[in-house]
Amino acid sequence: MARFSQPQDHAFQRLNESISFDWRLAPYDLELSREHVEMLARQDIIAADERDALCAALEGVAREVQEGTFPFSDQDEDVHTAIERRVTELAGPVGGKLHTARSRNDQVATDLAMYVRDRATSTVEAILALARALLARAEDHLDWPMPGYTHLQRAQPVYLSHHLLAYAWMLARDRDRFERVGAAAAVLPLGAGALAGVNFDTDRAWLAGALGFDAVAPNSIDAVSNRDFVLDYLAAAATCATHLSRLGGEVVLWSSEEFGFAEVADAWASGSSIMPQKKNPDAAELVRAKAPRLAGHLVALHGVLHGLPLTYNKDLQEDKEHLFDAADTLELCLEAMAGMIGSLTFNRTRLEAAAADEFLAATDIADLLVRRGVSFREAHGIVGSLVRLALDEGKRLSELTPQELASRSPQLDAEFYDVLKGRNWLESKRSEGGTSLARVREQLERARAVLGVSP
């Protein structure tokens, strides 16, 4: 370059290059260039034969990219310079016209917006695949009782289907978040030039339509500095990964000897190098551990953008690796979870035995007293003392005698024993969103409708 009297230092080159990771933007960069050239010709900024020559060269480069024969040079700093260099090699001096009325600043922002739009779509598909697996498992285990927990202490019994559906609703919100990411990335930066606009009569609205954008960025300064759509992707990814991490964490607990609620299929587990009896739920553990990595990518980009003066600064090159790793990691986790959840086997006996712990009906007994006019707070105290009594005597609640009940409250009669029978404490949770079978069935249908998943 004429402006410089020294070659770039080798360490600077290594620090400065982005081609090692932004090469995956090549298909977007080529599509952008094709439509940009088309627009330049439509606006009489270049001649028709120049457009044809540029398009033929871009076609040639696209073929080389696809076939993996693109000849890289040591001097290629990023995907944009590499493609422009190669177009010029193939087309001759007319290649120099490719960069008319644009800058790498609006170009890279546009490539990245197109990339985010596509990844938002593929991430939504991966979310729906996992949601489908969860809904199918919920259907298979519709009336399997299990203990519901708070503080990881048995709290109240629920159906396994109800518990699994909780994750389906998280995924429905994740899907919505990624759809909003797609919308945030649908505003076209191209045409902003370096930062101030360009000295040509370009047609950005036409370009937006040709490249599949919904609108044109209204401020050239904002257009080249905006990376909100990347932050949006990373924020949605961090939240989704956090959901997956909770599911992974539960699968790890459930597959322990102590819980014995579930067993992961062999395809999703590994053995120990020393203890032959072991089968470890590694997939669930790894998914559990990925969440902070994704949250880290979000925090890192916030750090890059924080206090960054307008407009383009080379700092912005740091957006890509965070985005790429987040998208790759999240989609891999979603795919793995769909496979692992789809092949998980649950142990009905263990789940049912744990759910049959009568102390889980303590709230239901308190509610029985409430129906008889006792205030809830007072009922809470009475049942607490019954639990204490049962624990002291080593009895189940249903083994307490009528005299022992009467010693705690005159309102505790034979109906006390009915409350503890069978599934009464599950089936009495008839409030909307509750665990009674009819409500869970209703919820499953709603989840299917919201997620657009057929049975």
Q: Which of 34, 97, 104, 163 binds ligand ARG (CB under 6 A)?
A: 104
Q: Closest distance between ligand ARG and the C-beta of residue 19, in Å?
A: 8
Contact flag: residue 316 with ligand ARG (CB under 6 A): yes
Q: Which is nearer to ligand ARG, 94 or 108 (CB)?
A: 108
Residue 383, φ and ψ in degrees, nearest 5: -70, -35
Token pair in block for residue 166 = 């909780």
| Piece of the chain touching ligand ARG by CB under 6 A; list 102-110, 141-149, 231-239, 249-257 | 102-110
78 is a site residue for ligand ARG (CB under 6 A): yes
By beta-carbon proximity to ligand ARG, the closer residue of 106 and 364 is: 106
Tokens of 219: 């401020």
Task: For helices 48-67 and 26-42, give the axis angle rounded to 10 degrees.
Answer: 170
In whole angstroms, the minimum distance from the beta carbon of 111 to ligand ARG comes to 9
Q: Which of 272, 375, 385, 398 is catalytic?
A: 272
CA–CA distance, 278 with 127 (Å, rounded to integer): 31
Minimum distance from CB of 202 to ligand ARG (Å)?
19
Residue 203 CB contacts under 8 Å (≥ 6 apart), including other chains: 39, 42, 43
Clarify whether 162 is annotated catalytic.
Answer: no
Q: Which of residues 247-266 bind ligand ARG (CB under 6 A)?
A: none
Total residues contacting ligand ARG by CB under 6 A comes to 9
Pairing state between β 145-150 and 215-216: unpaired
The yes or no reply on residue 397 touching ligand ARG (CB under 6 A) is: no
Q: How many CB atoms lie within 10 A of CB 352?
A: 15
Residue 8 in contact with ligand ARG, rule: CB under 6 A:
no
Residue 365, amino acid: I
- Write the DSSP string, 240-301: HHHHHHHHHHHHHHHTSTTT--EE--GGG-B--SS-TT--B-HHHHHHHHHHHHHHHHHHHH
For residue 422, what are the contacts with CB-CB under 8 A and spacing of at least 6? Answer: none
User: What CA–CA distance (Å, rounded) separates 100 from 419?
Assistant: 79
**C-alpha distance from residue 419 to each of 424, 425, 429 (Å):** 6, 7, 12
If one asks whether residue 105 binds ligand ARG (CB under 6 A), the answer comes out as yes
Rule CB under 6 A: choose which of 28, 312, 416, 425 binds ligand ARG. Answer: 312
Kindly indicate which of the ranges 151-159, 276-284, 301-309, 310-318 contains the residues binding ligand ARG, using the contact rule CB under 6 A.
Answer: 310-318
229 scored as a contact of ligand ARG (CB under 6 A)? no
Give me the least distance between CB of 78 and ligand ARG, in Å please. Answer: 4
- Stretch 20-49 residues interacting with ligand ARG (CB under 6 A): 22
- CB nearer to ligand ARG: give 169 or 233: 233
Q: 21 or 149, CB closer to ligand ARG?
A: 21
256 is catalytic: no
- Catalytically annotated residue among 10, 151, 273, 431: 151
Alpha-carbon dihedral sign for residues 348, 350, 351, 352: positive
Site for ligand ARG, rule CB under 6 A: 18, 22, 78, 104-105, 108, 312, 316-317
Query: Which amino acids are annotated catalytic?
Result: 151, 272
